[in-house]
Each structure stands twice: as structure tokens, then as C-alpha cells.
Structure 1
Amino acid sequence: MQSVVEFDNVGLRYGTGAETLTDLSFTLYPGSFYFLTGASGAGKTSLLKLLYLAHRPSRGAIRMFGHDAITLPRDRLPGFRRRIGVVFQDFRLVPHLSTFDNIALPLRIAGIQEKDLKSPVTEMLDWIGLTERADARPATLSGGEQQRVAIARAVIGRPEMLVADEPTGNVDPEMARRLLQLFAALNKLGTTVVVATHDIHLLQEIDGAQMMRLDKGRLSDPTGSLRHPPRPLVLKN
């Protein structure tokens, strides 16, 4: 099976300090679902930044979608990033756009015509429970509502890879489960999903999901599972 991402002895250092990430080697396959865990300061957000091409590593090799991601020319980066959905911990919604327009943004960037936008965006608004807030600006939304909009924006274009940093941190348990179902549905369509979380209860929700655990910048994979294609996912009732 062709991989989506391959890390080979990757290290990341900020400035002249000690390495934040050290000797990371793993493979992510199409349709895989990973929970990225670890204590605060373990390097989870730094690893996510490498995955969505916000940073380049200090050393090692990264291949993404069959290409060398480190030597990728800058003019090709935007095209690569459009293949990756990102849920940021600080949401990063466009403040002057409505809920509807924030969610529709990736489709518009991809060149989808306006007449084809309404149906998928309306369906997504219904799924995240914000139909009545379609015209609201981000400043008028609660933290949990903003988080739901950020997630909807990340998944609506059916990216090849979804990277989510604490995506359920601002929502109640029932909505967290609903959002996890959304990720699982996207995953079954072939999207590779990486969810960074402190919530160990999420790990119990999906059979077949694999765990990537960071400890002081090093990846723990005692079973070697990160080198093999995933098992089918089953969302628990």
C-alpha cells in the first residue's frame, strides 16, 4: 500500500536549543486513524506542524504523497497544503466571515462554484448543530461553537489527510463523540486522520485506531504498528 507520509529519523530543533523532536520514524497509510498522545511539552504540536508543512525538520527525511516534502519548492507548498485539513487549537477562523462562509472557504479556494456550495455547507452546519448560527461572526460564537466551525472547515473538502490538535477540548462529551464520528466517517472515505488529544476516553471510542505516543520528543511504538497498514475502524456504541 502506498504511504501518505513517511518519516525517517526526523529531528526538529528550534534555534540552538535541544531537539524538540528526536529520531522519529513512522509511516502513515491511506485510511489510517491515529491518536497522538503524550504529556504537555512532549512535542505533539511540533509533530503536527511537520505534518501540515508549517515547519521543515532540522534533519532526517519526510516523504508526503510520494514526494520529498523537505526539498519541495515553495511554489508547490500551497497545492500540497490544500490536500491537508487542519484543525488548529486556536481555531483561526476568519473574523469578518460568517459561520457559513468560514466553512465554505476551502471549497471556494478549490474553485467550487457558488451554486454547488450551499448543499454541502448546509449539511455540515446541521451535523455540527449550528444551522441557526449560519450568519454569525466568530466573535459572537462560544469557544465550543468556534471549535465546531473550525472542524467543519477542515473536513468539508474531504482532504487526503486530516490533522487535528485537541479538536474536542472545548465541547461537551456528546458533541465530542459526534465530532469523532465525523472524523471516522471521513476516515472510511480514505482520509488519513491524526488526532492529538489529552482525553484518554477518546482512545476507547474507536476499535482499530492506532496510538502514537510521544515522550520527551521521542515516539514510542513498542508493537511496530506504525510501520504497517491499519485495521478497519469500528466506532463503539
Structure 2
Amino acid sequence: MSGPEGSIVQFDNVGLRYGTDREVLSDISFTLYPGSFYFLTGASGAGKTSLLRLLYLAQRPSRGMIRMFGSDVITLPRKGLPAFRRRIGTVFQDFRLVPHLSAFDNVALPLRVSRVPESEIKKPVADMLDWVGLSHRAGARPATLSGGEQQRVAIARAVIARPEILVADEPTGNVDHDMGLKLLRLFEALNRLGTTVVVATHDVHLLKKVPDSLIMRLDKGRLSDPTGALRYPPRRPARIEGAFG
């Protein structure tokens, strides 16, 4: 089954259960389009993190179909997953920075894992740290960074390889309101460069901060559609040039 024309991700009647427990996600169907901005919202325990784990390919569903980048990922051999995951950037609420590495080396890590030559790493990493406002903290280790600084390093690491999709799980949950808005502006800028952005949040105040964003709402493992995100291709933002565009 092929997805809607121009789509980047398609979920069709996806269900997820852990072990023999009841399903934590039931009959999940939606389509994501390139260059669009989505909020995934819902109360604590609604299933947001489980849905994101399916999106960044950390989990396989119990049933249903998932297509990404034109391929069926359910039947994709395990050896094919790393190439797909490199097309997806992930920002975690708890940062997950490598504690013994500097900010620079944390951001450089995806490039080094992909075996990019060292001569081609310094400038893009420096540009990325400048983009998130942390050039002056390039040599700092995570323990010496504030929560907002750690989250900005995590964002820089997630997007250094220019992913087609960015998935962020409660990215403002461990920072204050003002820093949360600054992080949201970074996601908007990345979106205007053409990346599809999916931000999971329980903060309803954030939902009105991004013009033209679409909202998918989870309630007890089922998805609802208050802005038509599941039915209609969204209007795509105009591309802009940026620090790494």
C-alpha cells in the first residue's frame, strides 16, 4: 500500500502493546508531510512517548502498517534500520548527552558515527553551535551546562546531520518558560529550512506559539484531530537560508 502523494510518514491502524498488557496505542492512523510542523499533545500517560518511539524506530508496532520515506518499515530487515534512523533526528526530554564529551564532541558524534572525515566536521559543528547560541561553550562538558544549554546541545546534535524529520519528546519540560520559547524558535527555524518537525508536549500554551502548526491529540492511546492534521496536507512554510542551509 503506498502512502498519500508527497507524504514522508504514514501510519495505518497501528497498535502497540508491551507484553501481554492492553494496548497503549490503538488504531493510530496519520500522515506526515515534508516541511510541516506538528504538535503531539495529551495528558501524561496518554501514549505520546510510545508513539514517538515508533516514529524514531526505537520500537516496532504490535500490528498495523508504518511507511517511511516510501518504504514499509515493518518488514525492513534490522540491518536496514540504521540508514533510516540517520534520516530522523531525536531530542529527548532528559537530553542524553554523553557526559565525558564536550559540547562540541557531543554535537559531532552523529557525524563521526557516520564516518565523516574529521576535516569535514569542525566547520559544520562550529556553525551549529553558533546557530544554537553556544559557540562560547563548545569545550564545556554537560555537567557544567545549564538545563537550557544542555537542551540546545541536544538539539544541535539531533540536527547536525540534516535529518528529514525531527522528533522532540517534551523538549521544554526541564527548562523555564522563557527558555522553552527560545527552544521553540529553534524548532521553527529548522522547520523553515524544510525539516518536518514533531514536538510532543503537554504544555497547551505552546500550541498557539507556532503559526500554521497542526495538532494531533492522544487520549488513552487513541488519536484525535483538532486541526485537521490527519486529513489534509498542510500549507508548507517558505524556505529560508540559515546558518547551516
TM-score class, shorter: over 0.9
* Equivalence for 1:37: 41
Pair 1:167 & 2:171 matched: yes
1:89-142 per-residue CA deviation (whole Å, 9 max, x = no partner) reads: 221111221100101112223333323322222222223332222112222223
User: Does 1:225 find its partner at 2:229?
Assistant: yes
Equivalent residues in 2 for 1:87-102 (5 A)? 87-102=91-106
**CA 124–223 in structure 1, closer or farther in 2 if over 3 Å, else same:** closer
More displaced stretch, 135-144 vs 159-168: 135-144
TM-score, reference length from structure 2: 0.89
Pairwise CA distance, 1:188? 2.2
CA distance in 1, matches of 2:17, 2:158: 28
Do the aligned residues in 1 keep the contact of 2:37 with 2:197 (CA within 8 Å)? yes
Aligned pairs for 1:152-231 (under 5 A) are: 152-222=156-226, 224-231=228-235
Partner of 1:74: 78
Q: CA deviation at 1:169?
A: 1.9
Question: Which position in structure 2 is the counterpart of 1:6?
Answer: 10
Give the equivalent residue in structure 1 for 2:113. 109
Contact 2:35–2:237 under 8 Å retained in 1: no
Aligned residues: 234
Aligned mate of 1:65, from 51, 61, 69 = 69
What is the match of residue 28 of structure 2?
Answer: 24
Preserved contact between residue 31 and residue 230 of structure 1 (Cα < 8 Å):
no
Bigger mean CA deviation after superposition, 195-204 or 77-86: 195-204
For residues 181 and 7 of structure 2, the distance between their equivalents in structure 1, rounded to whole angstroms, comes to 28
What is the RMSD of the two structures over their aligned residues, measured on CA atoms?
1.7
- Paired with 1:204 and 1:48, the residues of 2 have a C-alpha distance of 21
Matched-pair identity in %:
75
Partners of 1:74 and 1:232 lie apart in 2 by 33
1:49 corresponds in structure 2 to 53
Contact 1:29 1:229 in 2 (8 A): yes
State the TM-score, normalized to the length of structure 1: 0.92
**What is the CA–CA distance in structure 2 between the aligned matches of 1:123 and 1:207, rounded to whole Å?**
27
Which consecutive residues of structure 1, in runs of 5 or more, have no partner in the other structure? none
Distance in 1 of aligned mates of 2:56 and 2:142:
24
What secondary structure, in the 3-state scheme, does the structure 1 residue paired with 2:230 have?
helix
How far has the Cα of 1:28 moved from its partner? 0.5
> What SS does the corresponding residue of 1:23 show, helix, strand or coil?
strand
Partner Cα distance (1:48, 1:31) in 2: 18
Unpaired segments ≥5 residues, structure 2: 239-245
